[in-house]
């Protein structure tokens, strides 16, 4: 088969790396379309370095997503299947609004609910991480083709689960730049949060770690003294950071699925700000419900996570909720069975099996018509 893979940013490669490797191992000719420059490949290869061993892999690199859409659209008939991440994003509209049944999109942080449009029609198949995710997306969207396949990414994360660590650490994830642009008083609140965290960590012998967002060029190191700063450009180091943190403080980060799977408690700050950022779409019932589930802690039953509204950020409530997360007993086994059910081991192989079966049926049908 000839298979096109679409990667729209470096961190999404981690979701398809093992599926790409499985495809290459079976001898399929694969082309990777990605909208970042070659220097970004170093991070990709840290996730799946063995892909460089294959001669049946081609790269199409360009920083402009529009160029990639045009390039792939014009060559679409050359491929027997297209596999993407967040394929229902508006930027890829020309690809998924077709009659092609051989388009496949990996679930990505439930962005599919945000990106749905009225009257959506597509034969693209959405590959969900679990039956739980399939139910949520099915209830809150109108996508016709949704399958629960298990997650190659969760299979990879399993190697980090229950990673032991000697130091006690609290990790702070730098907020999205849009929060600063649209909410001018947020920097003051963040400084207060960091000040409270620094004092609490020092008093309780915890390290305070900053996971930076390099692309936003905001230096939180000037606010307080961090024991360590981890760049968001290295996929391996930030996953290890999540796995070895006692708790993570974040601003509506899509990392919550990874944190939950790794059994790391987290506290979400200012979900009401995030809702305001999407006021143009928040009227949609599915999106409104997603916000309540995803960021207010309801989606993972509130046992291992909590949220702090914007008017609470400069109060002692932050520390109270953090201490509550650290001290509460958690039934992780039941949690895992509820929210991440299914067998993720070998999911990349099962996904390619399914795509090959579809291809074989299509070929047989085509031959019968001749």
- What pLDDT does residue 24 have? 95
Please tell me whether residues 186 and 331 are part of one structural domain. yes
- What pLDDT does residue 29 have? 97
The range of the structural domain enclosing residue 55 comes to 2-158+344-369
- What pLDDT does residue 367 have? 79
Which of 295, 293, 299, 294 is closest to 307 using CA atoms? 295
Per the domain annotation, does 73 fall within a domain? Answer: yes
Give the distance from CA 234 to its chain's centroid. Answer: 15
Read off the pLDDT of residues 230-282 as tens digits, 9 standing for 90 and up: 877 666 788 889 999 999 999 888 788 888 888 899 998 887 777 776 655 55
Give the distance from CA 330 to its chain's centroid. Answer: 24
Which of 22, 24, 20 is closest to 34 using CA atoms? 20
Read off the pLDDT of residues 5-31 as tens digits, 9 standing for 90 and up: 988 776 677 778 889 999 999 999 999
Decide which of 132 and 9 is more confident.
Answer: 132
- What pLDDT does residue 124 have? 82
Please tell me whether residues 62 and 188 are part of one structural domain. no
Beta-carbon contacts of 360 under 8 Å, excluding residues fewer than 6 positions away, are: none
Strands in 125-128's sheet, in edge-to-edge order, are 57-61, 29-34, 2-7, 81-85, 103-106, 125-128, 146-148
CB atoms within 10 A of CB 45: 13
Distance CA 221, CA 92 (A): 37
Read off the pLDDT of residues 84-114 as tens digits, 9 standing for 90 and up: 876 666 677 677 677 777 889 888 777 677 6
Please tell me whether residues 116 and 144 are part of one structural domain. yes
Report the phi/psi class of residue 189: left, alpha or beta, with left for phi > 0 and alpha for psi in -120 to 50: alpha
Beta-carbon contacts of 76 under 8 Å, excluding residues fewer than 6 positions away, are: 82, 95, 98, 100
Which of 181, 330, 300, 178 is closest to 251 using CA atoms? 178
Per the domain annotation, does 163 fall within a domain? Answer: no
Read off the pLDDT of residues 36-71 as tens digits, 9 standing for 90 and up: 655 556 666 666 778 878 899 998 888 888 888 889
Please tell me whether residues 56 and 176 are part of one structural domain. no
Please tell me whether residues 327 and 351 are part of one structural domain. no
Whether the pLDDT of residue 227 is over 90: the answer is yes
Per the domain annotation, does 164 fall within a domain? Answer: no
CB atoms within 10 A of CB 6: 26
Q: How many residues in total does the chain contain?
A: 370
Please tell me whether residues 181 and 271 are part of one structural domain. yes
- The half-sphere exposure of 178 on its side-chain side, counting CA atoms within 13 A, is 10
Tokens (6 digits) for 140: 């809150």
Cβ–Cβ < 8 Å for 3, 65: no
Distance CA 143, CA 366 (A): 27
CB atoms within 10 A of CB 117: 11
Please tell me whether residues 320 and 252 are part of one structural domain. yes
- What pLDDT does residue 116 have? 62
* Domain at 111, CATH number: 3.40.50.2000
Read off the pLDDT of residues 161-214 as tens digits, 9 standing for 90 and up: 776 677 899 999 988 776 666 666 677 888 889 999 999 999 999 999 998 876
């Amino acid at each position: 088969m000839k298979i096109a893979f679409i990667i729209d940013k470096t961190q999404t490669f981690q979701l398809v790396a093992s599926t790409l490797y499985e495809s290459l191992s079976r001898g399929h000719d694969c082309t990777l379309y990605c909208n970042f420059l070659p220097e970004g490949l170093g991070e990709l290869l840290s996730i799946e370095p063995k892909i460089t061993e294959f001669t049946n892999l081609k790269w199409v690199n360009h920083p402009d997503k529009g160029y990639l859409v045009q390039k792939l659209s014009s060559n679409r008939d050359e491929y027997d299947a297209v596999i993407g991440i967040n394929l229902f994003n508006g930027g890829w509209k020309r690809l998924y609004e077709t009659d092609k049944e051989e388009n496949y999109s990996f679930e990505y942080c439930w962005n599919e609910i945000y990106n749905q449009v009225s009257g959506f029609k597509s034969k693209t198949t959405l590959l969900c991480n679990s039956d739980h995710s399939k139910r949520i997306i099915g209830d809150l969207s109108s996508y016709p083709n949704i399958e629960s396949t298990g997650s190659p990414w969760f299979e990879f994360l399993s190697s980090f689960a229950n990673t032991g660590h000697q130091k006690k650490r609290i990790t702070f994830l730098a907020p999205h730049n849009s929060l600063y642009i649209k909410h001018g008083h947020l920097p003051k609140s963040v400084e207060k949060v960091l000040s409270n965290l620094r004092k609490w960590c020092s008093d309780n012998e915890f390290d305070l770690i900053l996971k930076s967002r390099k692309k936003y060029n905001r230096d939180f190191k000037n606010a307080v003294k961090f024991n360590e700063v981890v760049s968001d450009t290295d996929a391996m180091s930030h996953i290890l950071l999540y796995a070895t943190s006692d708790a993570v403080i974040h601003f509506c980060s899509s990392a919550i699925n990874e944190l939950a799977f790794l059994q790391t408690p987290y506290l979400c700050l200012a979900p009401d700000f995030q809702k305001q950022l999407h006021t143009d779409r928040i009227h949609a019932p599915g999106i409104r419900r997603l916000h309540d589930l995803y960021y207010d802690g309801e989606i993972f039953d509130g046992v291992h996570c909590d949220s702090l509204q914007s008017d609470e950020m400069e109060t002692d409530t932050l520390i109270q909720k953090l201490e509550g997360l650290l001290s509460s007993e958690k039934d992780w086994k039941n949690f895992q069975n509820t929210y991440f059910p299914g067998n993720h081991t070998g999911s990349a192989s099962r996904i390619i099996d399914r795509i090959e079966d579809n291809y074989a049926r299509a070929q047989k049908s085509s031959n019968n018509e001749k």
